[in-house]
């Protein structure tokens, strides 16, 4: 009994202290959110059904709050029935409050575009009519300029199957939608999931960005930059088979021409920390940079991305029980290694390469060996 009494007394003292600590933590979190909300900027966006766009944009880091509503029409304080009739002039929109210190306006647009169909000005998926068309309501000249430039770059890169038809409209007023529409994906989860699936939104997005877009997402900015790199690809010549055999060591030939694999922790570059680039041992194609190399613990040189995806070809390899993605050089057709989806951010990829398939060119020799254009990688 004495022991139990002591425990109860101790607990009675500990409980207020614990409560105080938790309340302080909760207060700090609330204060942080309030501070972020005070400094927040606003993006007003239309991408079809606001149940979906609200749900998606709330997942973006740096977004403080998302409210569903209506903008662009002539009716004051419109109801959902008025807007959905298509006669009010309003469009279903979301008001996105975001912290510009965490996420930029372009990044908000980037995320927004990757969750809608910006090419359909007649509606959005199953919802048809001008009240569901895609639009960006710009709040100032800077937002308008950023949106215009970004749309132009997306179109030039031809990321979507059709040109963008997202309207830019000067913002005037935002009317919040009825309360039952706010956070609909939380309040009516089953109905929301059924609607979203039946709408065809995710099916379309999977077709455009791949069905692994959630696991290994790429921003539109990344895709734009990749397209720019692809336009800079230079042609390299593959030597005759006899020349390749005479120029390579037995191991290099086995790896590149016979799709072999060298031993882990017993190869030239697995632990190389020198700054420079790695090129195809056969043709000299620029493949990887030391700026993207990391210690994977596998015993092979590992990278998060290639210098230019235009010099890389990926194929499905069925040599083991399970399929793997083989990586080969574009012009030399050399077997380089494999790529796996267990790498670090920002790509989430691990390009696991064979040292024997590559030649290392240190920064000090890049200019003399013809790789001067890649010196910018080491300016940081």
List residues bridging with 124 in a β-sheet: 127
Multiple choice CATH, 241-378, 3.30.565.10, 1.10.1740.10, 2.170.150.20, 3.40.50.1580 = 2.170.150.20
d(CA 284, CA 312): 13
The average confidence (pLDDT) of the chain is 91
pLDDT tens, residue by residue, 293-329: 999 999 999 999 999 999 999 998 887 778 899 999 9
Extract the tokens encoding 311: 């010099």
Q: What is the pLDDT of residue 33?
A: 53
Is residue 9 scored above 50 in pLDDT? no
Whether 49 is catalytic is yes
Average pLDDT of the residues in 178-199: 94
pLDDT tens, residue by residue, 115-134: 999 999 999 999 999 999 99
Q: Specify the range with the lowest mean pLDDT, choosing from 205-209, 210-214, 275-279, 288-292.
A: 210-214
d(CA 227, CA 120): 23
d(CA 354, CA 24): 53
Average pLDDT of the residues in 344-369: 96
* Residue 296 Cα distances to 23, 114, 121, 154, 359, angstroms: 41, 31, 47, 34, 20
- Name the segment(s) of the chain with CATH classification 3.30.1060.10: 38-228
Task: Please say whether the dihedral angle defined by the alpha carbons of residues 217, 339, 315 and 353, taken in this order, is positive or negative.
Answer: positive
Is residue 11 scored above 50 in pLDDT? no
| 260 CB-side CA count, 13 A | 15
Percent of all residues in the chain with a pLDDT value above 70, rounded to a whole number? 90
Is residue 171 scored above 70 in pLDDT? yes
Sheet holding 302-303, edge to edge: 293-294, 302-303, 350-353, 335-340, 324-329, 312-317
| Angle, alpha carbons 128-129-135 (nearest 5°) | 105
Q: Annotated catalytic residue: which of 42, 45, 49, 248?
A: 49
pLDDT tens, residue by residue, 73-132: 999 999 999 999 999 999 999 999 999 999 999 999 999 999 999 999 999 999 999 999
Average pLDDT of the residues in 18-41: 60
d(CA 290, CA 362): 9
When pLDDT is cut at 50, 70 and 90, the band that residue 35 belongs to is: low
DSSP per-residue string spanning 172-236: --EEEPPGGGTTHHHHTHHHHHHHHHHHTHHHHHHHHH-TTTTTS---HHHHHHHHHHHTTPPP-
- For the 38-228 domain, the top CATH level (class) is alpha beta
Q: Annotated catalytic residue: which of 352, 356, 357, 377?
A: 352
- Name the segment(s) of the chain with CATH classification 2.170.150.20: 241-378
Q: What is the pLDDT of residue 152?
A: 97
d(CA 126, CA 45): 19
* DSSP run (H or E) holding 276: strand 276-280
d(CA 285, CA 234): 9
Helices (H), the chain: 2-38, 50-57, 80-84, 105-113, 141-157, 184-187, 189-199, 201-209, 220-230, 241-247, 250-258, 363-366
Burial class (CB in 10 A: 0-12, 13-18, 19+), 319: exposed
pLDDT tens, residue by residue, 324-345: 999 999 999 999 999 999 999 8
């Amino acid at each position: 009994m004495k022991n139990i009494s002591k425990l109860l007394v101790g607990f009675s003292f500990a409980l207020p202290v614990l409560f105080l600590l938790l309340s302080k933590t909760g207060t700090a979190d609330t204060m942080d959110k309030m501070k972020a909300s005070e400094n927040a900027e606003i993006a007003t966006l239309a991408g079809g059904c606001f149940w979906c766009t609200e749900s998606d944009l709330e997942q973006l880091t740096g977004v403080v709050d998302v409210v569903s509503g209506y903008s662009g029409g002539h009716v004051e304080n419109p109801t959902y029935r008025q807007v959905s009739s298509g006669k009010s002039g309003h469009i279903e929109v979301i008001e996105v409050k975001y912290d510009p210190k965490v996420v930029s306006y372009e990044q908000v647009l980037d995320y927004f575009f990757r969750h809608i169909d910006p090419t359909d000005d007649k509606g959005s998926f199953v919802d048809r009519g001008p009240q569901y068309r895609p639009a960006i309501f710009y709040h100032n000249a800077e937002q308008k300029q950023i949106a215009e430039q970004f749309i132009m770059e997306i179109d030039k890169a031809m990321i979507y199957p059709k040109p963008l038809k997202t309207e830019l409209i000067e913002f005037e007023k935002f009317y919040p939608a009825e309360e039952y529409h706010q956070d609909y994906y939380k309040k009516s989860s089953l109905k929301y999931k059924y609607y979203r699936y039946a709408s065809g939104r995710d099916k379309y997005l999977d077709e455009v960005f791949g069905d692994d877009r959630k696991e290994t997402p790429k921003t539109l900015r990344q895709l734009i930059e990749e397209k720019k790199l692809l336009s800079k690809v230079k042609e390299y010549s593959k030597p005759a088979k006899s020349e390749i055999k005479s120029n390579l060591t037995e191991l290099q030939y086995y790896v590149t021409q016979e799709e072999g694999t060298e031993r882990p922790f017993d190869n030239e570059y697995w632990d190389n920390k020198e700054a420079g680039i790695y090129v195809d041992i056969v043709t000299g194609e620029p493949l990887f940079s030391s700026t993207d190399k990391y210690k994977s613990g596998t015993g092979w040189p590992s990278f998060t991305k290639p210098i230019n995806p235009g010099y890389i070809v990926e194929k499905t390899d069925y040599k083991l029980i399970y399929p793997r993605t083989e990586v080969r050089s574009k012009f030399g057709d050399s077997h380089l290694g494999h790529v796996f989806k267990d790498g670090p951010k920002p790509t989430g990829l691990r390009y696991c390469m064979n040292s024997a398939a590559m030649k290392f060119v240190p920064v000090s020799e890049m200019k003399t060996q013809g790789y001067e254009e890649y010196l910018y990688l080491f300016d940081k």
